[in-house]
Structure 1
């Protein structure tokens, strides 16, 4: 009897182990979806392993999995650049995160809706020039804050400022017409220098700071990069001129204020656009959008040293949101 009980225990244990291994194996193969399994789902293609990409994708998955389920199973499938060719998988919609991922979609079925995100505006516009918007729904969400948003922040946070200094490079010069239009609407005067080489930067900066009460920083890799940022921050600080910038990293480095979008906010926006395309397919909808969600950051220590009394970041953000509602 004892031998029989031991044998029964061994058999039960063996069955548990077999079931566990089977479950584990099924979990391992779930992300590798073939064409028969991916219909009705969303494919997410990303450019590489980074904290920023992971944060965007995690937010995408969290929001999309709430609304996109088949038999109670979330149907968001990840791919990286090592899992090509993508035509082996058929999805109802594709999302790309980053420029390299966007470039890979040129090989996809042309009627599949696309949502691109986490690209600089100029890169996105250049890439989408070749896309046929008449047969495919394409939405591109870039990283750059629209100029009016930065100007609204200046108007609210530093209301006495009337003269703004701006140094433009080849990519940020594209924003000049829009910048001028909104500056005129807000009663602000722009003092602009345009450069085509990094060697011209400091002289151009000195000239705009002679009249500018605030330096408005627009994203441009020629002007704001790891080789130039410290020089710009030191020059403006010595002149006692605040910088209003486009990233939280610049505020941590010494800029006074910034309006910026986090990876999670970009992910949320992309998820909403993807859901909209799934609900209402529209072959021919072609849109390039600025970030819908954003935050404000303030460097209190720099503001105090410049003698500026700037409101709380949350209050500034709420006021900016209200202004945008009024001008929609």
Structure 2
């Protein structure tokens, strides 16, 4: 609760959050405020039952569900949903694991609330925008499997404090992935430029132009640019010019990216449990969200090759968390002042 003004009442915080939510730039802060208030008043809420549509990988499914049980501290009745089941209790959410399970549940159980896990924001938005029941009151939400691009950008900044300019690669169909990030960066004394790759043959020439601009390259979850066929060429080209690549995920750090923030399964499970508790306590799911905390992984061998003095992973995580906290505190104070001036707060 350190980022909130302690003089505000809980009711005042909700009124302030409503005011903040009207602006898209700080809409995420609305969710943060609600989460912090809810965590302060957290009680032992029993999750009576959850339906699960699995990924098809039993090891993965069982591991995630075990993480959920550890967060709750007790056994949770879990009912795998079979294809033959035509109807389900509409008062019990379906937890889907992975993209295929989410797609299946959306089409097969039109009356059931759905809470998707282990999917990207991009996939969630694509599937929900294509829904035939968009006008219904059906509840659909998600816990994304990755972290916001802002976290990744600040990870690069924590490793290379003098960095100010970030190079971004995108195709004409993926430029939107960076839209929110571009509006966020100036608050952290950072700027970015997008370099559009129009065809596969233009990837490396476009990357070379990007390397002349950026202090580092920030990679999004964009398989049209970053995939097993391209990543080796991207990394070698960048490192020959002594430019580091951040992201797009923990897997790519093992492949040769310098570093990445990522959401561990324990964080996904914790956020999933919070969403389920909200459903059974209040009758609705929260807005789609990223996990509430993250870790950082650094490839030390790459750092040595680039002659970059590397802070510890915990130090980078703490720096990123502190930067986010300070900005959230500043935005909260500004919103509170605006709300008071508008007569929303007493």
- TM-score normalised over the length of structure 1: 0.77
Paired with 1:170 and 1:61, the residues of 2 have a C-alpha distance of 43
**Is contact 2:253-2:299 (8 Å) kept?**
yes
**Matching residue within 160, 172, 177 for 1:158:** 160
Q: Does 1:185 align with 2:187?
A: yes
Paired with 2:109 and 2:67, the residues of 1 have a C-alpha distance of 24
**Is contact 2:218-2:248 (8 Å) kept?**
no
Q: Provide closer, same or farther for how the CA distance between residues 311 and 202 of structure 1 changes in structure 2, counting only shifts above 3 A.
A: same
Paired with 1:174 and 1:286, the residues of 2 have a C-alpha distance of 24
Secondary structure of 1:77's aligned partner: strand
The worse-fitting range, judged by mean Cα deviation, of 123-132 and 217-226 is 123-132
1:167 deviates by: 0.6
Q: Does 1:49 align with 2:46?
A: no
Q: Any residues of structure 2 matched to 1:288-307 within 5 Å, and which?
A: 288-307=288-307
Q: Name the larger-Rg structure.
A: 1
Paired with 1:126 and 1:203, the residues of 2 have a C-alpha distance of 30
User: What's 1:107 paired with?
Assistant: 108
Paired with 2:113 and 2:201, the residues of 1 have a C-alpha distance of 43
Q: Any residues of structure 2 matched to 1:240-259 within 5 Å, and which?
A: 240-259=242-261
Unaligned runs of 5+ in 1: 1-38
**Is contact 2:72-2:273 (8 Å) kept?**
yes
The count of aligned residue pairs is: 278
User: What's 1:174 paired with?
Assistant: 176
Q: Any residues of structure 2 matched to 1:6-25 within 5 Å, and which?
A: none
Q: Provide closer, same or farther for how the CA distance between residues 164 and 40 of structure 1 changes in structure 2, counting only shifts above 3 A.
A: closer
User: What's 2:316 paired with?
Assistant: 316
1:231 deviates by: 0.8
Paired with 1:280 and 1:47, the residues of 2 have a C-alpha distance of 28
**Matching residue within 63, 87, 101 for 2:71:** 63
1:87 deviates by: 2.9
Paired with 1:222 and 1:186, the residues of 2 have a C-alpha distance of 28
Pairwise CA RMSD: 2.4
**Is contact 1:96-1:102 (8 Å) kept?**
yes
The worse-fitting range, judged by mean Cα deviation, of 136-145 and 85-94 is 85-94
Secondary structure of 1:117's aligned partner: strand
Paired with 2:326 and 2:135, the residues of 1 have a C-alpha distance of 31
Secondary structure of 1:326's aligned partner: helix
Q: Does 1:225 align with 2:227?
A: yes
| Deviation by residue 1:294-314 (Cα, 9 ceiling, x = unmatched) | 110111121122121121111
Q: Does 1:122 align with 2:122?
A: yes
User: What's 1:84 paired with?
Assistant: 83
**Is contact 2:96-2:116 (8 Å) kept?**
yes
Secondary structure of 1:135's aligned partner: coil
Secondary structure of 1:246's aligned partner: coil
Secondary structure of 1:92's aligned partner: coil
1:274 deviates by: 1.4
Higher strand proportion (structure 1 or 2): 1
| Deviation by residue 1:180-225 (Cα, 9 ceiling, x = unmatched) | 1122222223232112432321111111012222111111011111
Paired with 2:87 and 2:102, the residues of 1 have a C-alpha distance of 17
**Superposition misfits of 4+ residues, deviation over 6 angstroms:** none
- TM-score normalised over the length of structure 2: 0.73
User: What's 2:34 paired with?
Assistant: none
The worse-fitting range, judged by mean Cα deviation, of 160-169 and 194-203 is 194-203
Q: Provide closer, same or farther for how the CA distance between residues 52 and 199 of structure 1 changes in structure 2, counting only shifts above 3 A.
A: farther
Secondary structure of 2:213's aligned partner: coil
**Is contact 1:248-1:259 (8 Å) kept?**
yes
